[in-house]
Amino acid sequence: DQQVKQNSPSLSVQEGRISILNCDYTNSMFDYFLWYKKYPAEGPTFLISISSIKDKNEDGRFTVFLNKSAKHLSLHIVPSQPGDSAVYFCAADGGATNKLIFGTGTLLAVQP
């Protein structure tokens, strides 16, 4: 049972444009959400997070939006840069799981 879903396995964007990565979840008890970025041959690194009491969190070029009623969150990267090319994982925390639940990841390719 995949509680956190990233339905787009890959996304290609031109440099300078906006990248939008999407994530859906099923457990309404999740109250904290994170995005991780992973380059090949490296471990995932924390990018940005959002608490369920907020609907938006911004950090430089990265903004995460949370729509609790739709159980949906998205990561916006503006402007996209070639160095942003990586796999992006969303993760959810909270409820009775006592662990982070990760999505399957979206491979972002930013074309120069």
Partner 1 sequence: KAGVTQTPRYLIKTRGQQVTLSCSPISGHRSVSWYQQTPGQGLQFLFEYFSETQRNKGNFPGRFSGRQFSNSRSEMNVSTLELGDSALYLCASSLAPQGKTGELFFGEGSRLTVL
Question: 35: which DSSP letter?
Answer: E
Min dist CB 104 to partner 1, Å, is 4
Nearer to partner 1, 25 or 105 (CB): 105
* Type of residue found at 107: L
Tell which one of 32, 62, 74, 79 touches partner 1 (CB under 8 A). 32
Residue 107 beta carbon to partner 1: minimum distance, rounded to whole angstroms? 10
Cis peptide before 112 (omega within 30 of 0): no
The answer to whether 105 and 38 have CB atoms below 8 angstroms apart is yes
Which one of 10, 14, 28, 45 is in contact with partner 1 (CB under 8 A)? 45
**For residues 99 and 112, which CB has a smaller minimum distance to partner 1 in the complex?**
99
53 binds partner 1 (CB under 8 A): no
Burial of 20-29, coded b for 16+ CB within 10 Å and e otherwise, reads bbbbbbebee
In the block, which residue shows the tokens 């949906």?
72
Task: State the nearest-atom distance from the C-beta of 91 to partner 1, in Å.
Answer: 8
